C-alpha cells in the first residue's frame, strides 16, 4: 500500500492505495466523491473526467499515485461554497443539457476546461472538444447549446462573432 495525498476540491485529502488503484476508484471508493462516474473502464465515454492541476483528465486512465501531490477538482468542487452553481452547471440546467445525467459530470468538467482555454468557442470547436465524451440520451444539441450559453455568460454576455 502507498499513501497518496492531494488537494481535492480545495481540501487536503490522503489515503492508502494499492499501486494499481485508479484515480476514479480512489475518489469514489476511498473518499466517497461519487459525482465522478465510471462508465466504460476503457477511457472511451468521458463520464469520469476530473481536473488534475487545472487540466481535464479521464480519471479511469490515471493511477491515484500519479495524482499524488496534485490539485484535483471533481464535479462536487465546481459549485461555490454558498451552493451557487458554476456557470456551466447553471447553463446545463437552464438549457436542458442533460437527460439521464450519467454523462453530465464528465461533460461539465470537459466544458469548463474548454472554456478556460477558449472563452469564445464556436459550435464546431465545442463539438470537437467533446469528442471523447459520450452521451447516449441527448443527441448533444442541448449540451452544445448549454456550453455556448455558459461561454457567453462567462464573457459577460458578449455573443460570438458570426461563424
pTM listed for this prediction: 0.92
Segments forming the whole domain that contains residue 109: 87-154
End position of a domain, from candidates 76, 109, 129: 76
pLDDT tens per residue across span 26-60? 999 999 999 999 988 788 899 999 999 999 999 99
> 65 and 116 share a domain?
no
Residue 163 above 50 pLDDT?
A: no
Lowest average pLDDT, out of 12-16, 49-53, 99-103, 151-155, goes to 99-103
Q: Locate 32 and state its grid cell.
A: 466517497
pLDDT tens, 91-104? Answer: 999 999 988 889 99
How many domains would you assign to the chain?
A: 2
Name the pLDDT band for 161 (thresholds 50, 70, 90): very low
49 near 59, Cβ under 8 Å?
A: yes
Distances in Å between the alpha carbon of 29 and those of 17, 78, 101, 155? 11, 20, 20, 37
Amino acid at each position: 500500500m502507498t499513501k497518496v495525498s492531494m488537494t481535492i476540491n480545495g481540501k487536503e485529502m490522503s489515503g492508502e492505495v494499492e499501486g494499481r488503484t485508479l484515480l476514479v476508484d480512489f475518489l469514489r471508493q476511498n473518499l466517497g466523491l461519487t459525482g465522478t462516474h465510471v462508465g466504460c473502464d476503457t477511457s472511451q465515454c468521458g463520464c469520469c473526467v476530473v481536473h488534475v492541476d487545472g487540466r481535464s483528465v479521464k480519471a479511469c486512465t490515471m493511477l491515484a499515485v500519479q495524482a499524488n501531490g496534485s490539485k484535483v477538482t471533481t464535479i462536487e468542487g465546481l459549485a461555490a461554497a454558498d451552493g451557487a452553481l458554476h456557470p456551466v452547471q447553471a447553463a446545463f440546467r437552464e438549457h436542458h443539457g442533460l437527460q439521464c445525467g450519467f454523462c453530465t459530470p464528465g461533460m461539465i468538467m470537459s466544458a469548463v476546461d474548454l472554456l478556460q482555454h477558449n472563452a469564445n468557442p464556436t459550435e464546431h470547436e465545442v463539438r470537437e472538444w467533446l469528442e471523447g465524451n459520450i452521451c447516449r440520451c441527448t443527441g448533444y444539441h442541448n449540451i452544445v447549446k448549454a456550453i455556448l450559453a455558459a461561454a457567453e455568460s462567462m464573457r459577460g454576455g458578449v455573443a460570438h462573432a458570426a461563424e
